[in-house]
Structure 1
Amino acid sequence: MRKGREIYEEGDRVLVARGGDGGSPTNGFMPQLGEACTKLINPHIYKHHVKIIIKTISDVSLVGFPNAGKSTLLKAIARSRFKPRIAAYPFTTLSPLMGTLEYPDLRTISIVDLPGLIEMAHANRGLGHSFLRHVERTKILLIMIDVQGFQLDHKNPYRTPLETFLLLNKELELYDPLLVYKPAMVLINKMDTKNATAIYDRLVHDLQNIKDVLPTLPEEMRPKQLLQVQEIAGVSAKKNEKSVAYVKDRIRVLLDLYTDELCAENATDLATVDNSKDEKLFLNKLKEHNVKLV
């Protein structure tokens, strides 16, 4: 299948098939009298099967394994015309849900809650491609992790919070290597559960020293390129409104940083910069500033 063009803005047009000649007696239309009646229509018929793929455009994408609390967070911080389905079992979200963060100064930020990913999502397991494609056009990633770890079912292995982070990192990388260069915030959810504080402290320590920790883990869990994590925060999306408000504020700060970096780059050379290179530009700025976990 030949890959076509992408459409980014309203008014963009793509030629799928060239139109035929105008009406004539040959094709059953009723043309005006004159010379056109004597001309044969174009005998070539252009026929294609076209697959249209819709990719959600949002400022922020919530990414995580099933039952991490993404829908609960969306319901807590955003206004949405969709009603998230929330339950204590995986796969309650079956399609991307859009919401809007609203601030007192009337600033709005769009956020999308993606259905839970599973291991091998990059290979389209569990409809992974249908979900991951919506991350391609987002500006920042919110990586949602259950502080108690994750196990899909009794047939699949239990994953610690650290393993969860690394496996999500690898799924994004294997689907599209550019995704890991988007700025990311890691949210450790369910901080109201047993031993959550101790687990959180250990996870933050491991993430801050991730280069030393990686060699101790199985090779299949090691991504080639780590996510560009700007901040790690603990949150209880269900029970702690203060932590939810903090996340909402930090999303805005991180998004503003992303925008400022791109504006600075664009101002240096307006003639050569175009929006399709945003991620590469941000990557260069990250390297220049030597961004580390905070």
Structure 2
Amino acid sequence: MKSVLLLLRKNVLYSNRFYSSAINEVVSSPLRSKKPKSTKTKVSGFVDVKQVQAIGGKGGDGCISFLSLWANEFAGPDGGDGGSGGHIILQACSNTSGLNHVDALLKGEEGRKGSSSHCHGKNAEHTIIKVPVGTIVKNSNDKQVGDLSNEGTMFILARGGAGGHGNHFFTSATNQSPAVAECGADGENISYTIELRSMAHFGLLGFPNAGKSTLLQAISRARPKIAPYPFTTKQPYLGVVQYSDYEQICVADLPGIIEGSHKNRGLGIQFLRHVQRCTALIIMVDIALDPWNQVEKLRYELEKFNKELSVRPQLIVANKMDLEVANDNLEKLKEHFSDEEIIPISAKCGTNLLYLLQKLRNIYDSYHKET
């Protein structure tokens, strides 16, 4: 019985893997998620840039008090210190998406005042704001001062003020009964720009209606909006591809780029900040509409946004291979980019998606081996 169970387990293991006859190695295969996609149709706004004013909490004031005991009317000063004000802290959290919940004015709690009988005021609680992993923080000079790229990473936007000393603190040999105390210090008041840069391994780039959202919906549980008109996608969407060895690859679908996007045409190119952390870029083209021109224009817009992105590893994917003119245009596309591999697919019909996913895994593995 034990040998039968081992045999069954071995068969199941091998059925979830690919074998390459050329190099005789085992390669993990992508899995289709068994969990159904969400049926929610609610559409909410997506905020990936936010201007905030962070004000730390004010410290509590010190107390002026003189102790009076039985048979000792002048027992001395007993004023306590005030508590410290609360900090404003950002914390990276994987369960948070977008910056919609972040207020433009962030103000910390104030510390409690000191009291008599040497009682110190309570320190204020820190204000912790959850933000998505991948959020960066820039100061008023547009210089990056914080990078929340790991789960649980924190960044202090504004420190709270220190609490003031009570009159007991100022007692000395020459001044036994000081009638003076400190006011609590004000917290820091600093302006920041908070930006969200998605932590995706691959970024989908293409012209409007190239089929990016259809592809993301076909390979993951993401549910981006799909419609037959331009600029259907107005915000980035993330989808996760699962493999048989439990590895997961994140793919980001970005709004469509048009010629002149760097001049703020269409939706502009500011959302390309979300692909700055990507391992590689997927250039998706509509095979029926001069795909060679689409590739050149997309790469030109990338270079205008950030020259570093133009040298990032890129994978050209020709979509809509189910159309009649697809084969002829595919040959022309291969002639224009003879030194690059062109992957023909049909996201709508599911043609060649398995090979595309395996290609993504190879790029992902090669990158992580180097790092």
TM-score (norm 2): 0.55
Aligned equivalent of 1:196:
326
Q: For 2:253 and 2:167, how far apart are their aligned partners in 1?
A: 59
Of structures 1 and 2, the larger Rg is shown by: 2
Aligned residue identity for 1:94: K
Secondary structure (helix, strand or coil) at the match of 1:126 reads coil
Aligned equivalent of 1:59:
201
Query: Does the CA contact (< 8 Å) of 2:347 and 2:353 recur in 1?
Result: yes
1:238 to 348, 351, 354: 348
Q: For 2:355 and 2:168, how far apart are their aligned partners in 1?
A: 74
Q: For 2:358 and 2:207, how far apart are their aligned partners in 1?
A: 24
Aligned equivalent of 1:253:
362
Within 5 Å, which residues of 2 pair with 1:61-140? Answer: 61-80=203-222, 83-140=223-280
Query: Does the CA contact (< 8 Å) of 2:255 and 2:267 recur in 1?
Result: no
Aligned residue identity for 1:74: L
Aligned residue identity for 1:174: K
The alignment status of 1:9 with 2:150, answered yes or no, reads: yes
Q: For 2:191 and 2:269, how far apart are their aligned partners in 1?
A: 20
The alignment status of 1:35 with 2:141, answered yes or no, reads: no
Q: Does 168-177 or 32-41 show the bigger shift?
A: 32-41
Aligned residue identity for 1:243: N
Tell me which protein shows more helix as a share of its residues. Answer: 1
The alignment status of 1:181 with 2:339, answered yes or no, reads: no
CA displacement at 1:115 relative to structure 2: 1.1
Secondary structure (helix, strand or coil) at the match of 1:208 reads coil
Query: Does the CA contact (< 8 Å) of 1:183 and 1:258 recur in 2?
Result: no
Query: Does the CA contact (< 8 Å) of 1:72 and 1:237 recur in 2?
Result: yes
CA displacement at 1:144 relative to structure 2: 0.5
The alpha-carbon distance between structure 1 residues 127 and 45, as it changes in their structure 2 partners (threshold 3 A), is farther
Aligned residue identity for 1:39: E
Tell me which protein shows more strand as a share of its residues. Answer: 2
Q: Does 10-19 or 85-94 show the bigger shift?
A: 10-19
CA displacement at 1:4 relative to structure 2: 2.8
Q: Does 127-136 or 95-104 show the bigger shift?
A: 127-136
Cα distance per residue 1:142-172 (max 9 Å; x no partner) = 11000112xxxxxxxxxx2111101100111
Aligned equivalent of 1:226:
none
Q: Number of aligned residue pairs: give it.
A: 221
Aligned residue identity for 2:274: H
Secondary structure (helix, strand or coil) at the match of 1:16 reads strand
Q: For 1:16 and 1:96, how far apart are their aligned partners in 2?
A: 26
CA displacement at 1:185 relative to structure 2: 0.9
Q: For 1:139 and 1:102, how far apart are their aligned partners in 2?
A: 17
Secondary structure (helix, strand or coil) at the match of 2:283 reads strand
Aligned residue identity for 2:342: I
Q: For 1:126 and 1:14, how far apart are their aligned partners in 2?
A: 35
